[in-house]
Amino acid sequence: MAKKVVVCEGATEVGFLRGFDDYQVENKKDPFSFHGVAILNAGAGSKVKKKL
Protein backbone atom coordinates (compact mmCIF):
# COMPACT_ATOMS: atom_id res chain seq x y z
CA MET A 1 0.00 0.00 0.00
CA ALA A 2 2.11 2.83 -1.32
CA LYS A 3 1.28 6.49 -0.86
CA LYS A 4 2.58 7.27 -4.34
CA VAL A 5 2.60 5.05 -7.44
CA VAL A 6 4.68 5.62 -10.55
CA VAL A 7 2.85 3.96 -13.46
CA CYS A 8 5.28 2.81 -16.14
CA GLU A 9 4.34 1.84 -19.68
CA GLY A 10 6.39 -1.34 -19.61
CA ALA A 11 9.40 -3.31 -18.44
CA THR A 12 11.94 -0.85 -19.90
CA GLU A 13 10.69 2.03 -17.80
CA VAL A 14 10.41 -0.15 -14.70
CA GLY A 15 13.98 -1.36 -15.22
CA PHE A 16 15.24 2.18 -15.62
CA LEU A 17 13.58 3.32 -12.39
CA ARG A 18 14.83 0.26 -10.48
CA GLY A 19 18.33 0.97 -11.74
CA PHE A 20 18.03 4.61 -10.71
CA ASP A 21 16.76 3.55 -7.28
CA ASP A 22 19.76 1.21 -6.87
CA TYR A 23 22.10 4.01 -7.96
CA GLN A 24 20.59 6.37 -5.38
CA VAL A 25 20.99 3.79 -2.60
CA GLU A 26 24.63 3.15 -3.60
CA ASN A 27 25.22 6.89 -3.24
CA LYS A 28 23.74 6.97 0.28
CA LYS A 29 20.36 8.39 -0.77
CA ASP A 30 16.98 7.10 0.39
CA PRO A 31 15.27 4.40 -1.71
CA PHE A 32 11.87 5.04 -3.29
CA SER A 33 10.23 2.84 -0.67
CA PHE A 34 11.43 5.13 2.11
CA HIS A 35 9.28 7.86 0.59
CA GLY A 36 6.26 5.60 0.04
CA VAL A 37 6.81 5.22 -3.70
CA ALA A 38 5.97 2.04 -5.62
CA ILE A 39 6.56 1.26 -9.29
CA LEU A 40 3.76 -0.31 -11.36
CA ASN A 41 4.30 -2.01 -14.71
CA ALA A 42 1.14 -1.29 -16.74
CA GLY A 43 2.19 -3.78 -19.42
CA ALA A 44 1.67 -1.38 -22.35
CA GLY A 45 0.59 2.19 -22.87
CA SER A 46 -2.87 1.20 -24.08
CA LYS A 47 -3.52 -0.73 -20.83
CA VAL A 48 -2.71 2.08 -18.39
CA LYS A 49 -6.30 3.32 -18.07
CA LYS A 50 -7.58 -0.23 -17.44
CA LYS A 51 -5.06 -0.79 -14.63
CA LEU A 52 -6.09 2.40 -12.84
Please give the backbone phi and psi of residue 23, each rounded to the nearest 5 degrees, phi first.
-60, -45
20-51 confidence digits (pLDDT tens): 999 999 999 999 999 999 999 888 766 666 65
Residue closest to 7 by CA, chosen among 42, 50, 47, 45: 42
Most confident among 1-5, 10-14, 19-23 (mean pLDDT) = 19-23
More confident residue, 23 or 10: 23
More confident residue, 46 or 18: 18
Query: Domain residue spans in the chain?
Result: 4-51
The pTM is what?
A: 0.77
Please give the backbone phi and psi of residue 42, each rounded to the nearest 5 degrees, phi first.
-80, -15
* pLDDT confidence of residue 25: 96
The answer to whether 4 and 37 have CB atoms below 8 angstroms apart is: yes
* Cα separation, 8 vs 47, whole angstroms: 11
